[in-house]
Structure 1
Amino acid sequence: MSEKLDKLRASLEKEKERRIKINNRIESLERRIQEAEAAEVNEMVRTAKVTPEQLAALLRQSATSTPNPAALSAVGATFSKEDSDEDDE
């Protein structure tokens, strides 16, 4: 085989390995984002002091309208602004 073909094949192999590493990094980042989103939602639910039943009601409501403080009140959830401010400190 020619030297040029050998170099091209070696370059191809190197780039394939690089692609595998990049794909693994992408998957890892996507997993971390998903975990962070879940933790953020969990914290929002805790801050709003929403029970699983109230959360289900809110999710049903959100299918037809934008959730807001009135929607929280409608399902009996409470949201304390002071509590969330203390968590930020």
Structure 2
Amino acid sequence: MSEKLDKLRASLEKEKERRIKINNRIESLERRIQEAEAAEVNEMVRTAKVTPEQLAALLRQSTNTTPNPAALSAVGATIDKEDPDNEDDE
């Protein structure tokens, strides 16, 4: 085989390995984003003190309107005005 072909094949293998590493990194980042989104939604539900039934009602409402404080009160949920991050400041 020619030296030029050997170099091209070696370069191809190196780039394939690089692509695998990049794809693994992308998958890891996508997974971390999904976990962070789930945690954020969980915190929002806790802050709003929404029961599973109220959450289901809000989700049904959200197909027709944008969720807002009025939608929360319509299903009997309340928004906790206190910032949970500032509880230690007392």
- Same-fold call, TM > 0.5? yes
**What secondary structure sits across from 2:73 in the alignment?**
helix
Q: CA deviation at 1:87?
A: 8.6
For residue 18 of structure 2, what is the aligned residue in structure 1? 18
For residue 28 of structure 1, what is the aligned residue in structure 2? 28
Q: CA deviation at 1:3?
A: 0.4
Q: Name the % identity.
A: 93
Answer with 59-68 or 78-87: which moved more: 78-87
**What secondary structure sits across from 1:82 in the alignment?**
coil
* Deviations 1:28-74, CA, capped at 9 Å, x for gaps: 00000000000000000000000000000000000000111010001
Distance 1:59 1:27, change over 3 A: same
Q: How many matched pairs?
A: 89
Distance 1:14 1:87, change over 3 A: farther
Q: CA deviation at 1:4?
A: 0.5
Q: CA deviation at 1:21?
A: 0.4
Distance 1:82 1:35, change over 3 A: same
For residue 47 of structure 2, what is the aligned residue in structure 1? 47
Q: CA deviation at 1:80?
A: 1.9
Structure 2: any 5+ residue segments left out of the alignment? none
Distance 1:35 1:73, change over 3 A: same
- The two structures, once aligned, show a CA RMSD in angstroms of 2.0
Distance 1:5 1:25, change over 3 A: same
Normalising by structure 2, report the TM-score.
0.92
